Amino acid sequence: MPVSRRFMLAGGLAAVTGPAIAQHQHHHGQFERLAAPGRVDLPEIHHEQAVTDSPAPKAAMQGRWITRAPLPIPRTEMAWGAARLGKMHLVGGYGEQRVDRPYHHIYDPATDRWLSAPELPRGANHVGVAVAGNRLYAIGGFIEQNRNPHADCFVYGTEGEMWSRIRPLPEAAGAMACVTLGDEVHAIGGAIGTTFDNRKSIDWHLVYDPAEDRWTRRAPLFLARDHTGTLVVNGLIHVIGGRVDSFLTNSNLHHSYDPKTDRWTARAPMPTARSGQGAVWYRDRIFVMGGEGWNRVYGQNEAFDPATDRWESYAPMLTPRHGTGAVVVGDAIHVAGGGPQMGGAMTSAVHEAFTLA
């Protein structure tokens, strides 16, 4: 890869984009086809597939979306992002006509700039990511397009700004939703299979203990699925939506896990069934945005209040996408990259942020 596109990847950070220029929602030249190089505009099929209407009641304060600095490289199928030390981290994914990229980009909201950081030791898509303190974990992933997983796991930040290997998964899997409780990493759901014909969702619930460098099993997910929205709220893990084997069978299920009892509890289902969505904790609500389905790419921005067990809808995404990185940094939800149409044929550099401020 030319040095001008990414640099200082082995031992430091390098700025790769400047402050965002105000743009309207079509983000000219911020898209690239997986099958052919060269920047393009938002594909026409996006307008046919984009859906933003939510069946949930509207919140009194709708909030707003703003355009931020685009990713240096159009990407999709990172599956998740992570916040570390006040910055947004995105690892792996599809980009530049490959699906096994080792990308590691960091967004600094204070300067509205992206940094290029030390790459993943093994490139993959649908890598599970989670943060505990200063440590960023990368768990499994697929080395082919949404299939053929590997078991390798890594941690970033234990020995300076670099990656180190940790014990691999007991079995290879990709699209696992990862969160941390204390120092432990919970890897939940995901998918296995080396071909599209034998690819299937799993109900695994694995926990990594860094002190022992080992994995153990906990109560499995209520229904096997992958591409979920998963996060921790007040000591409970919430797993929302996702797909059962494919986006032909998206789910609106919502369950919470209590580590004290090792039990799952059903919660109010998500209003819009979808997979590949972002999910974050912001302003005392679980916000879920984006996602995909059969001939659909979703822009719904729906929020769950754990105190009332109810959902409301907020201002939808300017550019509906799936397979994005979504995290809270500062007082905003940042959603970067992702596919603007069903499937992985198109990548994007689009970066938009939602705020109630």
String of b and e for 107-137 (b: at least 16 CB within 10 Å)? Answer: bbbeeebbbbbbbbebbbbbbbbbbbeebbb
- Please report, for the chain, the start and end positions of each structural domain, with discontinuous segments joined by +: 31-355
Domain 31-355 class?
Answer: mainly beta
Model pLDDT for residues 232-272, shown as the tens digit of each residue: 999 999 999 999 999 899 999 999 999 999 999 999 999 99
- Whether the predicted pLDDT of 11 surpasses 90: no
| CA–CA dist 151, 174 (Å, integer) | 8
Where residue 79 falls among pLDDT bands split at 50, 70, 90? Answer: confident
pLDDT tens digits for range 168-216: 999 999 999 999 999 999 999 999 999 989 999 999 999 999 999 999 9
Q: What is the pLDDT of residues 284-326, one digit of tens each?
A: 999 999 999 999 999 999 999 999 999 999 999 999 999 999 9
The pTM score is 0.93
Q: Rounded to whole angstroms, how far apart are CA atoms 326 and 277?
A: 9
- The Cα 277–Cα 108 span in angstroms is 22
> Nearest to residue 301, comparing CAs of 316, 286, 312, 282?
316
pLDDT value at residue 15: 56
